[in-house]
Structure 1
Amino acid sequence: MEKQWNFTIMSQTKFLFIVLSFGLLSFEVYAQDKLPLSDLLAQLETKFDIKFSYSVNDVKQVRVGQPHDSATLVQIINQLNANTNLNFEFLDERYIAVSVNNKNISICGIVYAENLNTPLFGATIAVTNSSNGTVTDVNGKFELKDLSANALVSISYLGFTSQTISAYNLRISNNGCTTIILQEHSQVLNQVFISKFLTTGLQKLIDGSTILNTEKFGILPGLTDPDVLQSIQALPGVESVNESIANINVRGGTNDQNLILWDGIKMYHAGHFFGLISAYNPHLTNSVVVTKNGTSSEYSDGVSSTINMSTKNEIGSELSGGFGANLIHADAFLEIPVIDRLGLHLSGRRSFTDFINSPTYNNYYDRSFQDSKLSTTKNPIDNTGDASEFYFYDYTAKLLYDLNDSHKFRANYIGISNQLEFKEPDQNDTEDNVSKTSILKQENIGFGAHWDAIWNTDFSSSISAFYSRYNVDAIDYNIDRKQQLTQANEVLETGVKIKTNYKFSNHLNFLNGYQFSEIGVLNGTTVNAPSYVTIKKDVLLNHALFSEVEYNNKTTYLRVGVRSNYFQKFARFIIEPRLNFKQKLNSHLALKLQGEFKNQSVNQSIDFEYNFLGIEKRRWVLADDITAPISESKQGSFGLEFHNNNWLIDVEGFYKHVDGITTSNQGFYNNYQFINAKGSHTSKGVELLLNKTERTYSAWLSYTFSTNNYYFQEFNPSKFPHNVDVRHSISMAINVNVLKNLEISIGGIWRSGSPYTKPLKDKETVKDGNTYSVNYDSPNRENLDDFMRFDASLHFQTQIAEKVRAIIRAGVINITNKTNVTNRYFKVNADNLDTTVQVDHNSLGLTPNLSLRINF
């Protein structure tokens, strides 16, 4: 029996070997049927005693079929003219010239989904290294005219593997349009609902989140670069009341309530130049997904929103990159294919504000340092001198290694830094002529690694880990008091996440996972005169399990999940249900319902008393579940979406309640400024978006109405308006392709003024011992004047060599140079202690910018 079993195995093995050998032999013969054109031309020269004249670069990538031995020379030349983008011309009986056919062509295609055999509506069709492109219609069809036959056309659809096809192979012929089949990507169910949303490169996903593709991103009014955190403010419900991306408010929330992820690394620093420029280089940031509600249970923290940035994740076949500069900084990036399965992506950016002035820098400076020691001292910062320096930089590195097609490893590193030095001469130290230097450094570095594995067509897994460190170090000299103030704020976080995806069918996916994080926060303050030292360090461990089911067919999208958080220090469980539901009522109308519970354990404390040179100071503070509780939010929204004939009408009502806020992290300019109390805030409102997109233009108008209120039981009144209680907000813009390579964008913002608190009439100050302070009236009873601003941008690009293009962008913020007050507070009048002085913070004035980029 054993011999028979061995014989059977040997027989089956031999049979399998024969079958495989035959299959490999068949594949080899088929592969050899296509040969390089240069090889064929050499054969023809020998066989027919002729000579071809051609450029090696024109033919080196061309492969053609082997002609039959019986074919004549004329027949072969005719076939080459018909099947390649080359022109073969007889100069005489012996010499043949070969040249590239430069005649522009028209292309068309019909895009289908594999297996489903259904056309893909809204697939993105983009001509590589150009702004030309379109999207497929309801029948999956697309057309483009006046293209170079050598152009490459990228065809992509979220949830499917992209394809790049030569325009020549898509040319319109007697056989009609070319059929393109896209293979489904088994790991992604969340498909694109709106393929061109507001501008090129912005897409709306079916779960209601918005994805920004920076590589394909068009322009928005006022911007000269696809600034990640500036761009998302075009979305309804997302704005910054003081123009700073370090203070983005999502549905009435504060900036520290936004979870910011960069390739899975949690980041604690958002902006350069104190919030006027995003700290994340966009040229290797492939996509940004913004979620306001209905978040996946995979994510915690960020009780207002999740901003998830991802860098390019594929290893290219050849070196590519780019470099450029605007009137603030210069940058460069490279994508390096080291070997077949190993790649390296690098980027770097640095400002030149410490040695070159520009109108843009001067306006940014005036905006950032108004009402600070740098602008009010007798010897203010001199941009042209050596007394002071301000600069920033950031850099990233990513290692990509594909073990095989199913197992991929990625490692990332990011560094962000802002540095300011201010030298002030000591007028009292005349003998040594000493200058005292105040220093402010803000840094955030992060390291992350993850391994993605596809075990079979239905099951995949991912293991990731990250380390993030945020530091603020400040040394502030007070010349008059002979006092040195040293401040430090440090956040260290490490995290590990394990998750699995099981695909039950093409429509149903099951996600499970575990996440562990350790967060340590240090705050320290040292004063030399009088001597004072305080250092506080806290650590918090969090374990979380998450699970969700995602269902998506042509009419229904449903994602239901739950996240269970255990805080080890407090022995406390927090359960967070999540819901995201969308139902198409017909081909044009859909309703959506979203809800979530979320928490976060790290918040920012805003310190006005121990600030730096008069610049507002924000410190990260860890929850202790007593004076600094864990913030918890509950949010729900309901809306309707109408989409027809390239029109999008989106209406959504929302309600959000956040518990566990404190007076210290709200930045009050009133009598509650130095009182530590716990409270909550509630936001509710309606968002409306009208968007019309065509091939040559896109226009939109968004309107948000909301009410935002605080609740602090210890205060009287206990209920009063939120600091960002902006009742009405409108933004509108239009992008137009004036020429094939020229695009302009014009738009504006109008919103009602944010609240502020006035001193009590007839008794503006109060005295406590020898100290006078402002005696404020009821909190946030007054409102600033309405905010209004108009911006414009221009985008031009041109091909300067094969695979090399130049991009010129110009932008102007606040074209009308309107003075907008973004914040108002009062301080005691030094000349009359019974009165106060009003202090206004103004927005940017007319601010031009210009950028030049070279991409290859």
Structure 2
Amino acid sequence: MERSIKKTTTFFSFLLFVFFSSYAQNANKQESLTHVINALEEQYQVQFNYAEDTIEAILLIPPIKSLSLNEALTYLEDQTGLLFSIMSDSIVLVKPKEFMVLCGYLRDKDNLQPLASATVQTLNNSTITDENGFFQIKVENITQPITIRFLGYKTIVLRYDQFSKSGCEDVFLFPNLQSLSEVVVSNYITSGISKINNGSYEIDFSDFDILPGLIDNDVLQSVQAFPGIQSINETVSNINIRGGTHDQNLILWDDIKMYQSGHFFGLISMYNPQITQTVTLRKNGSDVGYTDGVSGTISMQTNPSVNNKFNATMGVNLIDANAFVDVPINKASSIQVAARKSISNFVETPTYTAFFDRISQNTEVSNNTTTITNSDKTFDFYDTSLRWIYKISSKDELRINFINVYNELQFNENALVIEKAESKESNLTQNSIAGALHYHRIWNDKLQTTFEAYETDYKLKAVNVDILGSQRFLQENIVSETSLKLKSNYRFNDVLHLLSGYHFVETEVTNLDDVDTPLFRLLISEVVRTHGVFSQLGYRSINRSSNFNFGVRYNFIEKFSKSIWEPRLSFSQRFLDFFTVEVLGEFKHQNTSQVINFQNDFLGIEKRRWQLSNNNDIPVITSKQVSLGLNYSHRDWLFNIEGYIKHIEGITAQSQGFQNQFEFAKGTGVNHVSGIDFLFRKHFNKFNTWISYAYMHNNYRFKDLQSNYFPSNYNIKHAATLGVSYSLANLKLSAGFNWHSGKPTTLPVSGNEIVNGEVNYEAVNISNLEDYLRLDMSALYNFKLTNKTKANVGVSFWNVLNRENQINQFYKINSEELNETNQRSLGLTPNAVLRVDF
């Protein structure tokens, strides 16, 4: 851990140096208009009269001191777009012009062709370019950003004074070389959710509508709305993409790999929804720049643009209080900061109680021996996130990210020891801290490069006391990872581009078990370094009906001298105007996985620990996947169906969470999954309805344990959702059913449950738990508090029917008797939110 702390400290020292150096360099160039006016008043002995909101947030280079007063005022008018009128010998009146008009011709930077039907908008006005690329738009305030968007090109956001004032000049857009992707289906489930032509799905929270049971934009709860994605136990720390385990998901936050995903040990996402703008989900067909995630990828991104106007929001719900600010530093730089803190220290709400009971169910926190009682149970969490963007020049951009997440659970064990009352504390902490640097350079019209570096650290620690045995058991699981990636994107012409790059990853995993009585200490620390070289050719037809990406990634694992080749493919073809066929395929690998040694590890709360492959009894996990899909979208009707086959090799029995005859077995095997994902959606008037269905056939084979294939622990054969949402100008309502067939389970043989002091189980996973059914509802209402302040209020109800869904079942022998334990889902759980946007 000392190595990890030193690496992290060095990394963040470098980031802070870059931040403050860049800021100091840029801040010397411009000053606020308020400061400039104060200097002019002293220089010319005049008084400026103005309204504060007229000049706020305006930055400019001060006029040179040799100018006359009239020349200085003319300079200010040119730079700010305001009127400076001399009313007398000593009074200068400052006021906005009635309106300003910006006009221009929008063109492709490469071929100078006009771009028709592009969107040009201010905060209050919008227009589109004509067939010649011409636009004209009214601008009320020079500080308002002007945004120009066109599909397939990089969006630009500039202020009025950053455009030419000499006339209707040409404005150039650069093709988006990083991704030649575009929307195939908009409003895939609801507003803000889109299907992209490279096979991925995108959630844009800036345009997001509402989903049943959610009133905050919980990132990892939202992705479960897609068919084929679910959590078998309702937690975001156990998301199953097409039947895979959670550790087979690559989770990225602004391109930083994260090894922790939830607060409340999985009941809510740890990623602050206020700073996360978009989420991209890939079930298959990843581009070659990604490694890890043999089952799928969930990539979260903050706003990629420099903000020119101060924004802030504060909110509170029945779980936490949160705040977010987006602060422009100057025209070229802005910083975002977000933070959340649980409110359980101040008040224990019904939502908190339901969450706490759910995570502590059937664990040492809620259960103990008859002679031991637990008291003073407390839970706390917080997270902080930062994103800074600096537009060094029109060709250079620097981004710095930081995230820190913390969970803590504490309780006291109380007992009479030799007729004396004693109390000792047990606790569990879970912490992630990470930072990244991202530098993007546009060399010319054809070539762009990106350099990415991150350090991510995760630590899970538990101290479990046995008050009767005078024993203290310490467990730790630590992951420290460093990544360096260099990517280049070369555009040959309008239809072909080439993505290439190099990727280095060093991962260290440390596991500690420490017992004081009897004295025992086991510390295992391992490091794996991987080098990756990748290249991918992309094609998009002129009419954008055909999209094709094919690439290969070569990986070399130093420790094992192991080479792995990974081809990747995505292809989509639009035909008959409203149909799109899609073919996706990929080979992937990963060096890390999560295992469960004993069900009571880490107090039984977060019992999974990360481990590294050793290329022996813990192999490198590899996967192969292919899928074929068809989309139909026309006049607010949507139909999507996709069939897939996925084969994963190198899984271990300990990583699958067996609680039957294989609970303590060790062995390696394969996981074979095939299935169909289906979605039907219809939008009419102000209503939006959708039905999704997923069929899956999910099997294991562990040769050392059982010769033939048997059902996976995550084999949910049938899963369906039915949802409806209703939207007015200020009101959003949503309700939905979630149903799936029961989780596989292994029962004792009826009438012969115990043999030789052990549970006598039937064949593995041939039985199922009862079916799962849940109804959720949510409502949001937004309104204005003032002209510049908006508010949102909302309520949600999870499991409205208060159905006790059975999510797990296992058996233990106690005093020669068989005990059955059933774990239940969350019952009726309300939540409410109040948010104010400034």
Q: Distance in 2 between matches of 1:611 and 1:188?
A: 44
Q: Distance in 2 between matches of 1:328 and 1:445?
A: 22
CA contact (8 A) 2:670 2:701 kept: yes
Q: 1:230 to 1:820 in 2, by over 3 A?
A: same
CA shift, 1:349, in A, is 0.7
Q: Could you tell me which residue of structure 2 aligns to residue 468 of structure 1?
A: 456
Q: Could you tell me which residue of structure 1 aligns to residue 364 of structure 2?
A: 373
Q: Distance in 2 between matches of 1:527 and 1:520?
A: 23
Q: Distance in 2 between matches of 1:444 and 1:398?
A: 17
Q: Does 1:489 align with 2:482?
A: no
The answer for unaligned runs of 5 or more in structure 1 is 1-38, 40-52, 63-83, 85-97, 102-109, 141-149, 167-178
Q: Could you tell me which residue of structure 1 aligns to residue 165 of structure 2?
A: none
Q: Distance in 1 between matches of 2:558 and 2:578?
A: 49
CA contact (8 A) 1:298 1:546 kept: yes
Letter in 1 for 2:638: L
State which of 759, 763, 783 in structure 1 corresponds to 2:752.
763
CA contact (8 A) 2:57 2:309 kept: no
Q: Does 1:821 align with 2:803?
A: no
CA contact (8 A) 2:157 2:305 kept: no
Q: 1:220 to 1:381 in 2, by over 3 A?
A: farther
Q: Could you tell me which residue of structure 1 aligns to residue 88 of structure 2?
A: none
State which of 222, 235, 241 in structure 2 corresponds to 1:231.
222
Q: 1:680 to 1:117 in 2, by over 3 A?
A: same
CA contact (8 A) 1:198 1:693 kept: no
The answer for unaligned runs of 5 or more in structure 2 is 1-36, 38-48, 59-80, 82-94, 99-104, 134-142, 160-169
CA shift, 1:196, in A, is 2.1
Q: Distance in 1 between matches of 2:739 and 2:814?
A: 33
Q: Could you tell me which residue of structure 1 aligns to residue 826 of structure 2?
A: 844
Q: 1:112 to 1:843 in 2, by over 3 A?
A: farther
Give 1:453-602 correspondences, 5 Å limit: 453-553=441-541, 554-602=544-592
Give 1:188-337 correspondences, 5 Å limit: 188-337=179-328
Letter in 1 for 2:499: L
Q: Could you tell me which residue of structure 2 aligns to residue 5 of structure 1?
A: none
Taking only the aligned residue pairs, the percentage that are identical comes to 36
Q: Secondary structure at the match of 1:628?
A: coil
CA shift, 1:128, in A, is 5.8
CA contact (8 A) 1:731 1:747 kept: yes
Cα deviation digits, residues 459-492 of structure 1 (max 9, x gap): 0101111111110111001223332211011111
Bigger shift: residues 609-618 or 497-506: 609-618
CA shift, 1:622, in A, is 0.2
CA shift, 1:153, in A, is 9.2
Give 1:763-802 correspondences, 5 Å limit: 763-767=752-756, 772-802=757-787
Q: Could you tell me which residue of structure 2 aligns to residue 714 of structure 1?
A: 704
CA shift, 1:561, in A, is 0.5
CA shift, 1:609, in A, is 4.4
CA contact (8 A) 1:490 1:522 kept: yes
For the pair shown, the structure with the greater C-alpha radius of gyration is 1
CA contact (8 A) 1:827 1:837 kept: yes
Letter in 1 for 2:828: L
Q: 1:111 to 1:454 in 2, by over 3 A?
A: closer
What is the count of residue pairs matched by the alignment? 741
Give 1:648-727 correspondences, 5 Å limit: 648-693=638-683, 696-716=686-706, 718-727=708-717
Q: Distance in 2 between matches of 1:452 and 1:616?
A: 38
Q: Distance in 1 between matches of 2:481 and 2:685?
A: 46
Letter in 2 for 1:726: I
Q: 1:158 to 1:711 in 2, by over 3 A?
A: farther
Q: Distance in 1 between matches of 2:571 and 2:355?
A: 43
Q: Distance in 1 between matches of 2:53 and 2:171?
A: 28
Q: Could you tell me which residue of structure 1 aligns to residue 153 of structure 2?
A: 160
Cα deviation digits, residues 610-644 of structure 1 (max 9, x gap): 42333350000100000100000000001111111
Q: Distance in 1 between matches of 2:320 and 2:97?
A: 40
Letter in 2 for 1:548: Q
Give 1:625-644 correspondences, 5 Å limit: 625-644=615-634
CA shift, 1:695, in A, is 6.7
Letter in 1 for 2:681: N
CA contact (8 A) 2:530 2:556 kept: yes
State which of 427, 430, 443 in structure 1 corresponds to 2:431.
443
Q: Could you tell me which residue of structure 2 aligns to residue 3 of structure 1?
A: none
Give the RMSD, CA atoms, in angstroms: 3.8
Q: Distance in 1 between matches of 2:425 and 2:445?
A: 62
CA contact (8 A) 1:563 1:576 kept: yes
Cα deviation digits, residues 380-406 of structure 1 (max 9, x gap): 665xxxx23211111012222221111
CA shift, 1:184, in A, is 4.2
Q: Secondary structure at the match of 2:601?
A: strand
State which of 391, 405, 410 in structure 2 corresponds to 1:402.
391
Letter in 1 for 2:832: L
Q: Could you tell me which residue of structure 2 aligns to residue 423 of structure 1?
A: 412
Q: Secondary structure at the match of 2:265?
A: helix
CA contact (8 A) 1:111 1:180 kept: yes
CA contact (8 A) 1:135 1:195 kept: no
CA contact (8 A) 1:54 1:99 kept: no
Q: Could you tell me which residue of structure 1 aligns to residue 10 of structure 2?
A: none
Letter in 1 for 2:454: F
Q: 1:404 to 1:125 in 2, by over 3 A?
A: closer
Letter in 2 for 1:403: I
Q: Distance in 2 between matches of 1:126 and 1:693?
A: 27
CA contact (8 A) 1:792 1:811 kept: yes
Q: Could you tell me which residue of structure 2 aligns to residue 28 of structure 1?
A: none
Q: 1:547 to 1:760 in 2, by over 3 A?
A: same
Q: Secondary structure at the match of 1:753?
A: coil
Q: Distance in 2 between matches of 1:346 and 1:636?
A: 40
Q: Secondary structure at the match of 1:617?
A: coil
CA shift, 1:181, in A, is 9.8
CA contact (8 A) 1:640 1:650 kept: yes
CA shift, 1:690, in A, is 0.9
CA shift, 1:645, in A, is 1.0
Bigger shift: residues 229-238 or 183-192: 183-192
Q: Distance in 1 between matches of 2:184 and 2:810?
A: 45
Q: Distance in 1 between matches of 2:712 and 2:775?
A: 26
CA contact (8 A) 1:608 1:616 kept: no
Q: Secondary structure at the match of 2:608?
A: strand
Q: Distance in 1 between matches of 2:299 and 2:151?
A: 16
Q: Distance in 1 between matches of 2:55 and 2:428?
A: 58
Q: Distance in 1 between matches of 2:182 and 2:586?
A: 21
Q: 1:708 to 1:829 in 2, by over 3 A?
A: same
Letter in 1 for 2:486: I
Cα deviation digits, residues 120-178 of structure 1 (max 9, x gap): 6xx8999969xx99999xxx9xxxxxxxxx99996745533447799xxxxxxxxxxxx
Q: Secondary structure at the match of 1:624?
A: coil
CA contact (8 A) 1:444 1:469 kept: yes
